[in-house]
């Protein structure tokens, strides 16, 4: 069985004619980011020289390589002749003038097409949103490219997928539901899965015409379209491929990539492979994108009979008792090299996730220096101090003369001296870094002992210990607890007018500080902040401050000092070296931790405790670390297999489990060993044809755990 080459009659015709001037020397069919290639020799003569060859074999006319030269045989390569290389040898006795063609697979040509470049986001503009109300069917498949927003799925781990996909019709009449982006901060946004991101990329950045098809991929992934990554429900993935694609696509950045690069990035994240498979369809050849998971591949063994004799002298493989065909089937390997590379041992893997975050309720303290007639007023003088302040009603009554009041000028937002006193009564801080020193900020009790906030007062030993967290600013982040209706509390701020006996939401605007844990009350008049249904003339924030009974507390999420880290101890009995060889898998966007366990949390009194965005990806990170340890603590194993003919038995994606009839796994363990074996897959095939040999070389790869 040999190789034959067909040439397209004209660019895009899809009609191929076998050309006996062309001889395939080497063909590689690859997967993932590797590109399929072919080297083809051109037979020249006096009537057909190199110039004629360059004119005959145009870079826009595809070339295909068939097995055995027959059009009914399998297609091994489909691509374009992108490079013509003249070969001249002038040595005496070796004179030669030749030409070879170097062709690349259609997948690589597709990657260079302008329409396959990924940038921006496809989403609905205002006209489409409005149109959906009046004509839902007419606008169901409408979207526009918003180039100003990058193509980043779940940017920062925050969902940005529209809750409503577009419904599109393909050229063949098939209907697909394709998810699209929504604007950042959309409260109704859903999280992208890798599966939905895949469908989005293939639909919006494909070439609608040409030799590469994608329809089968959309059909195969339709079962998981639109489902949430963490929504098990009754959905049972039909394959390992779908299961792995159902992972969240957090921080999957495809901006400024081409489609081939984007699919390779997505495949690596999912732990699957992408292949462009050439196929004979009718009288033409098409190539289709195929994604596959190693675990789904057909399980096959390489065949090599065990030679020699048993102890009693009988032959292990009696050649005389089988036919020539049987001998070839039982001995399909011309050569097999298995190399154990101890330089690649990984016996101390470490998976590093995101910063750990804890929700807790903390008390805030005044963030202004003590003010006369406010902070250190003795009880007998408090009535007079309160009379200096103006309630909203008094401000209105004073009219233009209100500027005569020193209190108004300093503490009312419309006062002429307000900017110099803007933080008085309004700025409240946690003082987590100790920047607010007691020598300056101490005042009457209970705010008479300023110092760095001690988180052990609101968190148990499972969260932190005294002095264990560094003294640094820790800005407040949105709470993970949800209200009963599922809404977001955000940073939950509460105030008390009775020393903490009762709490209520503050009146007016509240700004959360961006540089530290703290809030700023944006009230126009500090006497206007009152209890629900209260009277500012009787009790308000200013009066309560004078009486030393005003309190502020917030419930929010805080960054801890540690990250989620999984670093299992390797099995020293299964590693060839005593050195601790590491691999650091750094995936802060993939493995997260947020909890409210072990902390003082006022929101747990509001919420039943069942609703919260609590997440602990420690088990998932631990699984990945242990898989790395199990698979790679013995080092990398390189396998090189040569079959002495054009092989059609092994396909890209097949699992190769070992060496048949010899009871040997590819990792060198016996077949009956209970030790975990890695998945080896055919990720590429190389066909070579020379005057002296014809052979197939299998490229085998063991799945490397990266996330």
- Number of C-beta neighbours around residue 566 at 10 A: 22
Element (H, E) at 361: strand 348-366
d(CA 463, CA 456): 8
Mean pLDDT, rounded, for 363-379: 96
Mean pLDDT, rounded, for 43-50: 90
pLDDT at 675: 37
Question: Residue 360: which of 456, 498, 293 has the closest Cα?
Answer: 456
Tokens 């997505």 locate to 266
Mean pLDDT of the chain: 85
pLDDT at 670: 34
Question: Residue 374: which of 366, 386, 362 has the closest Cα?
Answer: 386
d(CA 640, CA 695): 13
Q: Over 237-281, what HEC string results?
A: CCCHHHHHHCCECCCEECCCEEHHHHHHHHHHHHCCEEEEEEEEE
pLDDT above 80 for 236: no
pLDDT above 80 for 169: yes
- 624: helix, strand or coil: helix
pLDDT at 330: 61
d(CA 181, CA 189): 9
Q: Are strands 427-429 and 75-89 parallel, antiparallel or unpaired?
A: unpaired
Q: What angle do CA 191, 192, 194 make, to 5 degrees?
A: 145
Instruction: Count CA atoms within 13 Å of residue 548 on its CB side.
Output: 14
All domains of the chain in start order, with CATH: 3-112 (2.40.10), 114-279 (no CATH), 297-344+634-702 (no CATH), 348-355+561-631 (no CATH), 361-558 (no CATH)
The pLDDT confidence band at residue 310, using thresholds 50, 70 and 90, is low
d(CA 690, CA 94): 18
Q: Over 121-156, what HEC string results?
A: EEECCHHHHHHHHHCHHHHCCCCEEECCCCCEECHH
pLDDT at 355: 94
pLDDT at 92: 76
pLDDT at 668: 40
Question: Residue 600: which of 447, 429, 464 has the closest Cα?
Answer: 464
According to DSSP, residue 468 is labeled T
Return the top range by mean pLDDT from 98-112, 463-477, 610-624.
Answer: 463-477
Q: What angle do CA 603, 505, 475 make, to 5 degrees?
A: 65
pLDDT above 80 for 577: no
d(CA 21, CA 74): 21
Contact 568, 705 (CB under 8 A): no
pLDDT at 209: 66
Is pLDDT larger for residue 381 or for residue 346?
Answer: 381
Mean pLDDT, rounded, for 456-484: 93
In this predicted model, what pLDDT tens digit does every residue of 609-656 receive, in sequence order?
Answer: 557 788 898 988 888 888 777 666 666 666 778 888 888 888 888 888
Give the sign of the dihedral formed by CA 642, CA 644, CA 650, CA 652: positive
pLDDT at 674: 37
Query: b/e for 267-304, b at 16 or more Cβ within 10 A?
Result: bbbbbbbbbbbbebeeeebbbbbbbbbbbbbeebbbbb
Return the top range by mean pLDDT from 466-475, 583-592, 662-671.
Answer: 466-475
pLDDT above 90 for 465: yes
d(CA 540, CA 528): 7
Query: b/e for 377-406, b at 16 or more Cβ within 10 A?
Result: beeeeeeebbebbbbbebbeeeeeebeebe
pLDDT above 80 for 482: yes
- Number of C-beta neighbours around residue 418 at 10 A: 15
Is pLDDT larger for residue 113 or for residue 352?
Answer: 352
Tokens 């009486």 locate to 547
Q: What residues pair up with 359 in beta bridges, in sequence order?
A: 557
- Enter the tokens of residue 442: 């101490």
pLDDT at 703: 57
Contact 66, 6 (CB under 8 A): yes
Which positions ≥6 away from 592 have C-beta within 8 Å? 157, 353, 354, 564, 615, 617
pLDDT at 669: 40
In this predicted model, what pLDDT tens digit does every residue of 321-365 receive, in sequence order?
Answer: 555 555 556 667 777 776 666 666 777 788 899 999 999 999 999
pLDDT above 90 for 453: yes
pLDDT at 660: 61
In this predicted model, what pLDDT tens digit does every residue of 386-444 receive, in sequence order?
Answer: 999 999 999 999 999 999 999 999 999 999 999 999 999 999 999 999 999 999 999 99
pLDDT above 60 for 58: yes
The pLDDT confidence band at residue 683, using thresholds 50, 70 and 90, is confident
């Amino acid at each position: 069985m040999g190789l034959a080459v067909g040439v397209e009659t004209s660019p895009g015709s899809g009609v191929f004619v076998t050309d006996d001037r062309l001889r395939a020397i080497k063909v590689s069919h690859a997967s993932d980011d590797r590109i399929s290639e072919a080297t083809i020799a051109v037979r020249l003569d006096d009537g057909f020289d190199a110039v004629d060859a360059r004119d005959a074999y145009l870079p826009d006319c595809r070339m295909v390589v068939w097995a055995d030269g027959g059009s009914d045989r399998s297609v091994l390569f489909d691509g374009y002749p992108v490079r013509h290389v003249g070969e001249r040898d002038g040595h005496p006795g070796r004179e030669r003038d030749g030409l070879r063609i170097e062709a690349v697979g259609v997948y690589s040509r597709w990657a260079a097409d302008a329409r396959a470049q990924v940038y921006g986001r496809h989403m609905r503009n205002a006209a489409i949103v409005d149109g959906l109300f009046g004509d839902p069917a007419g606008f169901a498949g409408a979207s526009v490219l918003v180039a100003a927003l990058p193509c980043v799925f779940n940017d920062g781990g925050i969902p940005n997928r529209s809750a409503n996909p577009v419904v599109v019709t393909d050229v063949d009449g098939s209907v697909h539901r394709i998810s699209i982006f929504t604007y950042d901060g959309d409260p109704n946004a859903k999280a992208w899965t890798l599966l939905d991101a895949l469908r989005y990329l293939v639909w919006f950045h494909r070439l609608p015409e040409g030799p590469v098809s994608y329809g089968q991929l959309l059909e195969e992934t339709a079962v998981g379209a639109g489902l949430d990554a963490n929504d098990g429900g009754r959905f049972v993935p039909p394959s390992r491929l779908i299961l792995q694609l159902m992972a969240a696509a957090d921080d999957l950045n495809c901006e400024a990539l081409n489609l081939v690069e984007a699919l390779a990035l997505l495949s690596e994240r999912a732990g699957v492979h992408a292949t462009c498979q050439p196929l004979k369809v009718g009288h033409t050849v098409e190539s289709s994108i195929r994604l596959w998971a190693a675990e789904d591949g057909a399980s096959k063994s390489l065949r090599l009979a065990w030679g020699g004799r048993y102890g009693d002298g009988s032959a292990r493989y009696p050649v005389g008792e089988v036919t020539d065909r049987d001998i070839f089937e039982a001995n399909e390997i011309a050569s097999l090299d298995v190399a154990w590379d101890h330089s690649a041992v990984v016996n101390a893997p470490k998976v590093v996730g995101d910063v750990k975050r804890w929700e807790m309720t903390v008390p805030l303290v005044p963030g202004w220096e003590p003010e006369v007639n406010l902070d250190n007023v003795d009880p007998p003088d408090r009535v007079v101090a309160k009379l200096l302040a103006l309630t909203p009603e008094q401000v209105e009554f004073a009219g233009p003369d209100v500027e005569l009041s020193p209190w108004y000028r300093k503490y009312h937002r419309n006062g002429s001296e307000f900017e110099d006193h803007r933080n008085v009564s309004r700025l409240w801080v946690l003082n987590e870094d100790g920047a607010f020193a007691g020598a300056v900020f101490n005042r009457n009790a209970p705010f008479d002992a300023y110092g760095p906030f001690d988180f052990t007062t609101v968190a148990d030993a499972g969260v932190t210990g005294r002095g264990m967290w560094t003294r640094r600013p820790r800005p407040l982040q949105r709470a993970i607890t949800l209200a009963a209706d599922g809404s977001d509390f955000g940073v939950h701020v509460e105030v008390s007018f009775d020393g903490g006996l009762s709490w209520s939401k503050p009146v007016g605007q509240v700004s959360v500080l961006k540089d530290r844990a703290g809030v700023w009350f944006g009230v126009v008049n500090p006497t206007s902040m009152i209890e629900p249904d209260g009277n500012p003339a009787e009790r308000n924030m200013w009066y309560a401050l004078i009486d030393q009974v005003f309190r502020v507390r917030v419930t929010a999420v805080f960054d801890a000092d540690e990250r989620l880290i999984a670093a299992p101890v390797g099995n020293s009995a299964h590693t060839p070296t005593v050195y601790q060889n590491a691999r650091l898998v750094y995936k802060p966007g993939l493995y997260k931790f947020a909890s409210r366990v072990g902390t003082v949390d006022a929101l747990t009194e509001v919420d039943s405790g069942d609703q919260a965005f609590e997440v602990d990806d420690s088990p998932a990170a631990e699984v990945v670390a242990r898989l790395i340890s199990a698979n790679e603590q013995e080092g990398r194993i390189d396998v090189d297999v040569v079959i002495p003919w054009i092989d059609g038995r092994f396909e890209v994606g097949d699992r190769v489990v070992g060496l048949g009839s010899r009871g040997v796994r590819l990792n060198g363990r016996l077949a009956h060993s209970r030790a975990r074996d890695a998945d080896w897959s055919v990720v590429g095939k190389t066909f070579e044809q020379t005057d002296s040999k014809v052979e197939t070389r299998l490229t085998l790869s063991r799945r490397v755990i990266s996330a």
